């Protein structure tokens, strides 16, 4: 029962947190846009948390996969008149397919090489979109993408639709890590030979999850282009990938909510910090400090265990006065 409850902790936190901020947004409407940005980053960062934090497979291509999804949808809707409700399918499938094809040869590389290879992959995608001539709008990008289906240009509706997608990903992620498949993914990270000796098809599983991560990034790209209406080469790309990795590592790569916490931190810090030049300095310092204190980020397994103990302790305290009730009830019966 405790275990079952744990499956729904992260989704519950997301729903409550979202509702609170949206209510505050009634007083400060700019919070709705902030919430949209956080949700967008969270959507790209969550699957990276899964493949990196659980599976040990780093990727610095998430931003470019999002750009690919955004461009795919922008091209299909502006040039071919497709409705965004339909272009969502290729926006997810194209990055996923590309990721799946290239995954096999690269995913057996050690972490540092994999980081570099995915970074160059992201750069290749970015350069390709930049030099795509009229087809991709070259350095100017594409504008005039139609608004999102159902919610249109309403900022509250947009935020709700985006966070609904985030919630779906969180629910799936939570269930996945507590399943046999999730356990096997962790085994791949801890000890690949152990996973193989349990019968895990490591290359196929990693490639599938890498592709799923790219597909979800493509979905985020779809949200981006149809809510802003515009996509340029520097909107989403290698720089986004680096920020996304920062969010995952800072927030806690082992925890489901880690990437969301990282996304929230990054977005709020960006809003409140003056001068874009100082941002790198600030984020770098914060990252070094946090990782020195807790190598697994803010929501590290230790921190989670501590929180669980605190909550369990409170629960026990609450039920503490219960025992005397029983004899008293017995007395009453007598």
Residues of this chain that bind other proteins (CB under 8 A): 3, 7, 171-173, 175-176, 178-184, 186-187, 190-191, 193-202, 205, 208-209, 212, 301, 305
Contact 136, 129 (CB under 8 A): yes
CB-nearer residue toward other proteins: 204 or 329: 204
Residue bearing tokens 């690919």: 68
How many Cβ atoms are within 10 Å of 53's Cβ, its own excluded?
26
CB-nearer residue toward other proteins: 176 or 230: 176
User: C-beta of 84: minimal distance to other proteins in Å?
Assistant: 25
Cα separation, 19 vs 189, in Å, equals 35
CB-nearer residue toward other proteins: 243 or 300: 300
User: C-beta of 187: minimal distance to other proteins in Å?
Assistant: 6
User: C-beta of 178: minimal distance to other proteins in Å?
Assistant: 7
Query: Residue 307 corresponds to which tokens in the numbers above?
Result: 């929180």
The number of helix segments (H) and strand segments (E) in the chain equals 16, 2
CB-nearer residue toward other proteins: 52 or 283: 52
- Residue 230, beta-bridge partner list: 143
User: C-beta of 60: minimal distance to other proteins in Å?
Assistant: 23
Query: Residue 231 corresponds to which tokens in the numbers above?
Result: 């996509």
CB-nearer residue toward other proteins: 180 or 326: 180
User: C-beta of 50: minimal distance to other proteins in Å?
Assistant: 10
The alpha carbon dihedral of 44, 50, 53, 59 has a sign of negative
CB-nearer residue toward other proteins: 30 or 179: 179
CB-nearer residue toward other proteins: 159 or 214: 214
Q: What does the radius of gyration of the chain's CA atoms come to, in whole angstroms?
A: 22
Angle, nearest 10°, between helix axes 258-272 and 30-48? 140
| DSSP tag of 231 | E
Contact 229, 144 (CB under 8 A): yes
Nearest CA-CA partner of 271 in 21, 7, 98: 21
Cα separation, 233 vs 77, in Å, equals 18
User: C-beta of 27: minimal distance to other proteins in Å?
Assistant: 35
User: C-beta of 199: minimal distance to other proteins in Å?
Assistant: 4
């Amino acid at each position: 029962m405790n275990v079952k409850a744990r499956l729904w902790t992260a989704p519950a936190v997301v729903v409550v947190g979202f509702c609170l901020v949206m209510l505050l947004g009634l007083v400060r409407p700019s919070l709705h846009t902030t919430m949209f940005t956080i949700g967008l980053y969270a959507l790209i960062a969550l699957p990276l948390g899964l493949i990196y934090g659980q599976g040990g497979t780093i990727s610095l291509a998430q931003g470019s996969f999002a750009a690919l999804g955004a461009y795919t949808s922008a091209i299909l809707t502006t040039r071919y008149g497709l409705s965004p409700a339909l272009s969502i399918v290729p926006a997810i499938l194209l990055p996923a397919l590309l990721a799946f094809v290239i995954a096999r040869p690269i995913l057996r590389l050690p972490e540092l090489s994999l980081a570099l290879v995915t970074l160059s992959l992201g750069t290749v995608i970015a350069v390709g979109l930049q030099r795509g001539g009229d087809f991709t709008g070259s350095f100017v990008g594409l504008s005039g993408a139609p608004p999102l289906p159902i919610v249109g240009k309403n900022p509250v509706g947009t935020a709700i639709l985006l966070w609904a997608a985030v919630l779906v990903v969180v629910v799936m992620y939570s269930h996945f890590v507590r399943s046999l498949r999730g356990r096997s993914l962790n085994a791949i990270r801890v000890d690949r030979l152990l996973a193989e000796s349990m019968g895990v098809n490591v290359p196929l599983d990693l490639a599938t999850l890498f592709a799923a991560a790219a597909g979800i990034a493509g979905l985020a790209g779809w949200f981006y282009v149809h809510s802003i209406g515009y996509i340029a080469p520097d909107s989403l790309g290698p720089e986004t990938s680096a920020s996304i990795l920062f969010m995952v590592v800072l927030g806690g790569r082992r925890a489901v909510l880690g990437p969301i916490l990282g996304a929230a931190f990054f977005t709020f810090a960006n809003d409140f910090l003056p001068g874009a030049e100082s941002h790198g300095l600030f984020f770098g310092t914060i990252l070094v400090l946090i990782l020195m204190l807790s190598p697994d980020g803010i929501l590290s397994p230790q921190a989670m265990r501590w929180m669980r103990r605190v909550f369990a302790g409170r629960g026990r305290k609450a039920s503490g006065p219960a025992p005397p009730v029983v004899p008293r009830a017995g007395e009453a019966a007598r």
